[in-house]
């Protein structure tokens, strides 16, 4: 047996130890790279980030590289669990630890914060995400013209708000966003920028989207984690007896699924029109364009015990004039919603997500939110509400509820 064969056999044995079977940084299964400078096993994507950082750049392929005996010994003495216990020892509850499904910017900045800046080695270290106030310029997409312009954003931990101003010296903000109605998620493909972030919040009981980015990937990830820190602070005040494990899922979240489907109106005789759909837990929102500020409508997905179900295909006799053939029917206590998908793969994926939501028990906040709606809108928000409630071809969906963070009681089920 050659030295290289012996090293490969030893590495294979080390990989079988607990924790080493998934990437130390993003959790992807079966990592095929090892960091000889840190003693961790990582996936191909994360190994590229490691190589781009001079102090961490010593990574080797477990299958293709030649390993020295000293390097193999180094890996066997360390491993993912042991090193994560060191580099993530003081990881704050609010800091988002990305998975392999997350965008590259999140994973890159996580690895840099973890190893390069060593932010989470020790408790009591003051982190920039906890400063209380963050004030800076971000590029924001205009609601009507679609142009990205520099806007001043101010996040206040004490007030629990995110404000943005159209001018640097403006005294009054254009919008005041409360952190308890706000969600933030990275959308690089949708926005067309690797650092693109979507913020969703409630304005007069209407869900509003804004799209922002910063040229610096570190800066936009700092903003993201500052928002999460502000939300955690709000939750700890609102629910002083809750544990971190209970509060963490109430912070920002990614949408379950997004993509195009066709839909028809409530009479089911209108033409099928292509719409962009966003599934945010129990809210299925649809937009004319993915970057619209307001949804054209929204479908609430309750539990199947309360009359909610999804079936494959369209009802017999449906008047159909669309271009996509793979139908889905969602039945609610109020009405049925008919959709079509471009491919059977998309159809099955949407069906899987819809069934998962309808099989999940509803929380008390979801029962309350389902029936909450007031007509107190102005401007575009008022017109958006009229489209939803007036009975037109885009109507029939339940009105806006959408709380990013439930209140006044915390679901402990």
User: How far apart (Å, rounded) are the C-alpha atoms in residues 403 and 213?
Assistant: 24
Supply the pTM of this predicted model: 0.86
Helix spans in 53-195 (H): 69-77, 80-87, 104-111, 188-191
Q: Out of 50-64, 91-105, 134-148, pick the least confident.
A: 50-64
Express as a percent the part of the chain with pLDDT over 70: 87
Residue 377 has pLDDT above 80, yes or no: no
In this prediction, residue 268 carries a pLDDT of 76
Q: How far is CA 237 from CA 121, 157, 186, 242, in A?
A: 27, 12, 27, 10
Assigned CATH for 3-116: 1.10.220.150
**Closest listed residue to residue 360, CA positions, set 262, 259, 249:** 249
Paired with 34 in beta bridges are 41, 60
Which one has a higher pLDDT value, 355 or 395? 355
User: How far apart (Å, rounded) are the C-alpha atoms in residues 247 and 412?
Assistant: 10
Identify the architecture of domain 257-372 in CATH: Roll (2.30)
Cβ atoms of 201 and 183 closer than 8 Å: yes
In this prediction, residue 192 carries a pLDDT of 96
Across the range 75-91, mean pLDDT stands at 96
Structure tokens at 365: 């906040």
In this prediction, residue 115 carries a pLDDT of 96
Residue 24 has pLDDT above 80, yes or no: yes
Segment 205-226, tens digit of pLDDT: 888 999 999 999 999 999 999 9
> In 3-state terms, what secondary structure has residue 212?
strand
In this prediction, residue 13 carries a pLDDT of 79
Cβ atoms of 265 and 189 closer than 8 Å: no
Across the range 387-407, mean pLDDT stands at 36
Residue 275 has pLDDT above 70, yes or no: yes
Residue 385 has pLDDT above 60, yes or no: no
Cβ atoms of 291 and 146 closer than 8 Å: yes
DSSP calls for 21-72: TB-TTT--BS--EEETTTTEEE-HHHHHHHHHSGGG--EEETTTS---HHHH
User: How far apart (Å, rounded) are the C-alpha atoms in residues 296 and 11?
Assistant: 55
In this prediction, residue 9 carries a pLDDT of 78
In this prediction, residue 211 carries a pLDDT of 98
Paired with 154 in beta bridges are 135, 163
Burial of 1 by CB count in 10 Å (0-12 exposed, 13-18 middle, 19+ buried)? exposed
3-state helix, strand, coil split of the chain in percent (to 5) is 30, 25, 45
User: How far apart (Å, rounded) are the C-alpha atoms in residues 337 and 394?
Assistant: 11
Name residue, tokens 């000889």.
36
Confidence of residue 368 (pLDDT cuts 50, 70, 90): low
Name residue, tokens 């471009």.
342
Residue 406 has pLDDT above 80, yes or no: no
**Fold entry, domain 133-250:** PH-domain like (2.30.29)
Structure tokens at 391: 């009975």
Confidence of residue 230 (pLDDT cuts 50, 70, 90): very high
Segment 36-79, tens digit of pLDDT: 999 999 999 999 999 999 887 789 998 888 888 899 999 999 99
The alpha-carbon radius of gyration of the chain (Å, integer) is 24
> In 3-state terms, what secondary structure has residue 370?
helix
Q: Compute the CA torsion angle 287, 141, 234, 250 (nearest 10 deg).
A: 40
User: How far apart (Å, rounded) are the C-alpha atoms in residues 278 and 22?
Assistant: 30
Express as a percent the part of the chain with pLDDT over 90: 70
In this prediction, residue 381 carries a pLDDT of 39
Segment 298-351, tens digit of pLDDT: 999 999 999 999 999 999 888 777 789 999 999 999 999 999 999 999 999 999
Residue 400 has pLDDT above 70, yes or no: no
Do the domains spanning 3-116 and 133-250 agree at the CATH topology level? no
In this prediction, residue 200 carries a pLDDT of 96
Confidence of residue 403 (pLDDT cuts 50, 70, 90): very low
Bond from prior residue into 408 cis (ω within 30 degrees of 0): yes
Other Cβ atoms within 10 Å of 22 Cβ, number: 17
Residue 361: DSSP 8-state:
P
Domain ranges of the chain: 3-116, 133-250, 257-372
User: How far apart (Å, rounded) are the C-alpha atoms in residues 85 and 44?
Assistant: 22
Residue 173 has pLDDT above 70, yes or no: yes
Residue 1 has pLDDT above 70, yes or no: no
Cβ atoms of 180 and 352 closer than 8 Å: no
**Closest listed residue to residue 227, CA positions, set 290, 156, 284:** 156
Paired with 336 in beta bridges are 331
Residue 243 has pLDDT above 90, yes or no: yes
**Closest listed residue to residue 300, CA positions, set 283, 285, 287, 286:** 283
pLDDT mean across residues, the chain: 87
Residue 265 has pLDDT above 70, yes or no: yes
């Amino acid at each position: 047996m050659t030295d290289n064969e012996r090293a490969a056999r030893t590495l294979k044995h080390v990989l079988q130890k607990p924790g080493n079977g998934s990437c130390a940084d993003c959790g992807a299964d079966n990592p095929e790279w090892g960091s000889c400078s840190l003693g961790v096993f990582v996936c191909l994507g994360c190994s590229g980030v490691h190589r781009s950082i001079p102090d961490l750049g010593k990574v080797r392929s477990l299958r293709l590289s030649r390993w020295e005996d000293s390097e193999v010994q180094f890996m066997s003495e360390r491993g993912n669990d042991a090193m994560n216990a060191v580099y993530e020892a003081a990881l704050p509850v609010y800091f988002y630890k990305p998975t392999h499904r997350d965008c590259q910017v999140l994973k890159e900045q996580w690895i840099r914060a973890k190893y390069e800046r060593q932010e989470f080695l020790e408790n009591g270290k003051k982190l920039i995400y906890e400063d209380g106030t963050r004030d800076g310029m971000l590029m924001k997409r205009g609601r009507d013209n679609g142009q990205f312009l520099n806007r001043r954003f101010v996040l206040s931990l004490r007030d629990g708000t995110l404000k943005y101003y159209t001018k640097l010296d403006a005294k009054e903000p254009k919008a005041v966003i409360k952190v308890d109605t706000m969600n933030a998620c990275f959308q690089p493909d949708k926005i067309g920028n690797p650092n693109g972030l979507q913020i969703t919040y409630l304005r007069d009981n209407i869900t509003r989207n804004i799209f922002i980015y910063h040229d610096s990937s570190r800066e936009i990830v700092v903003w993201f984690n500052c928002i999460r820190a502000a939300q955690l602070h709000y939750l700890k005040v609102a629910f002083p007896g809750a544990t971190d494990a209970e509060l963490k899922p109430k912070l920002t979240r990614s949408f379950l699924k997004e993509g195009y489907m066709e839909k028809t109106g409530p009479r089911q005789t209108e033409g099928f029109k292509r719409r962009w759909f966003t599934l945010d837990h129990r809210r299925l929102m649809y937009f004319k364009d993915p970057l619209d500020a307001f949804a054209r409508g929204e479908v609430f997905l309750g539990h199947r015990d309360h009359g909610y179900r999804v079936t494959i295909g369209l009802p017999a006799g449906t008047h159909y004039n669309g271009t996509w053939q793979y139908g889905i029917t969602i039945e609610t206590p109020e009405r049925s919603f008919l959709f079509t998908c471009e491919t059977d793969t998309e159809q099955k994926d949407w069906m899987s997500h819809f069934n998962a939501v309808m099989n999940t028990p509803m929380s008390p906040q979801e029962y309350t939110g389902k029936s909450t709606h007031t007509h107190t809108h102005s401007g575009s928000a008022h017109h958006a509400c009229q489209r939803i409630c007036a009975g037109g071809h885009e109507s029939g969906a339940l009105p806006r509820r959408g709380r990013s963070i439930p209140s006044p009681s915390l679901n402990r089920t």
